[in-house]
Structure 1
Amino acid sequence: MAAARRRKLATIAVLIAAAVLMFFIIAGQLLLGALGIPLYSFQIAGGIVLFLFALNMVFGQTKPQQAQEMSAPADPDASVAVYPLAIPAIAGPGAMLAVVLLTDNDRYSPMQQADTVAMLLAVLFVLWLALLAANPISRVIGAAGANILGRVMGLILAAVAVDNVLKAAAVYVRAAMG
């Protein structure tokens, strides 16, 4: 991919991911509350979806590629930047879950929540730089290295997902018992 196109896709993807995650920081807890969904339910659902995403990373594509739509999207770069790059690769279920949990109004002060937002923006900036450097990184690690790295990261992501589900289930059991 040409450098200008890669820069455009990376920028669009990171900005969309930032907007989605900022939405969840600002309105996630309010939205869940309005829908009557306890935080532990969201954590379990996010953990399950994250686990499925991780399985796809570990085992590779598990379903046949869906047929392309008859008409091409108005902006194919924006389409790729939104899916699969911005969502679910950057602002996936794990990231959405993390920002909601790390900005829980009942557990964290506004200053701690501001720190979370600052860290999120710093991580997104570093990710943007890594996306811009995708070709040199790919040349260094090679296709086999990328394959191995993706599968190992998928396994780690699966462990994080299971941990989220177990922690949320423990909260649910404690709430149900007392």
Structure 2
Amino acid sequence: MLLLQEIFQHMDNQLFAFSLTVFTGLIAMLNPLTSIPAFTGVLSGYTAEQKRYIIKKACIVALVIIIAFVLLGKFIFSIFGITIPAFKITGGILIFKIGFDMLQSRTAGTKKMPADIELDDSIAISPLAIPLLSGPGTIVTTMDFISNTGYIHLFIVTVIVTFVLYINYLALKYGDFILSKLGRNVISVLDKLMGLILAIMGTGMVIAGIKLLF
């Protein structure tokens, strides 16, 4: 009985650590504060009601895309013959590059916004949902969490993705207010901090991939 208790406690600790890692990684990649300037710039020609509608639509589309990759991740791996070590090494390099660009104050590929955007709600899908919210970095990060794991981990990742995107929705909804209170300098500092976290995560993924390879 005591042995079973210890096993369940150990599992709980493992799941908590896993959940914390997933949340930290996704909040760094889907950083709600550093997305505010991009969204504010793109939606500058809209009314408050239109902004709320487009932000909500963008977050829902991003959630559907990310969840699709979470649910179909293992199938995608098998159908294309992708090995876990290869995915971790390649994904780690990509995430490191995004984090390094953030540290260097360069706009990462997932944050790059087209110069000419028509004023219609289709921008909720592109470029806001794709690639700003659910870009390659976000998808790779999410799929790494569910690679070589069980159904309970898949459920945890799904819940955390939904929660983080809801945080994004709230932050973007009140983006003008947050930007006026914090200022661009504070947001820039936070962006660099998130970039450091992503660079460390990317390095960790590469190391994990190399260990699995050998």
- Tell me if structure 2 keeps the 8 A contact 1:47–1:161: yes
Q: What's the offset of the Cα at 1:172? A: 1.2
Give matches, 1:66-81, under 5 Å: 77-79=121-123, 81=125
* Amino acid aligned to 1:146: I
Q: What's the offset of the Cα at 1:16? A: 2.0
Distance in 2, Cα, partners of 1:141 & 1:54: 22
Q: What's the offset of the Cα at 1:132? A: 0.8
Q: Which residue of 1 aligns with 2:164?
A: 123
Correspondence 1:172 to 2:213: yes
Distance in 1, Cα, partners of 2:100 & 2:50: 30
RMSD value over aligned CA atoms? Answer: 2.8
Distance in 2, Cα, partners of 1:170 & 1:82: 37
Q: What's the offset of the Cα at 1:92? A: 3.4
Equivalent position to 1:102, from 123, 142, 145: 145
Distance in 1, Cα, partners of 2:144 & 2:206: 13
Moved over 4 A (4+): 65-69
CA 154–88 in structure 1, closer or farther in 2 if over 3 Å, else same: farther
Equivalent position to 2:99, from 34, 37, 54: 54
- Tell me if structure 1 keeps the 8 A contact 2:70–2:142: yes
Q: Which residue of 1 aligns with 2:83?
A: 38
Q: Structure 2, unaligned stretches of length 5 or more?
A: 1-43
Q: Which residue of 2 aligns with 1:92?
A: 135
Q: What's the offset of the Cα at 1:97? A: 2.9
Distance in 1, Cα, partners of 2:81 & 2:159: 29
Equivalent position to 1:24, from 69, 87, 95: 69
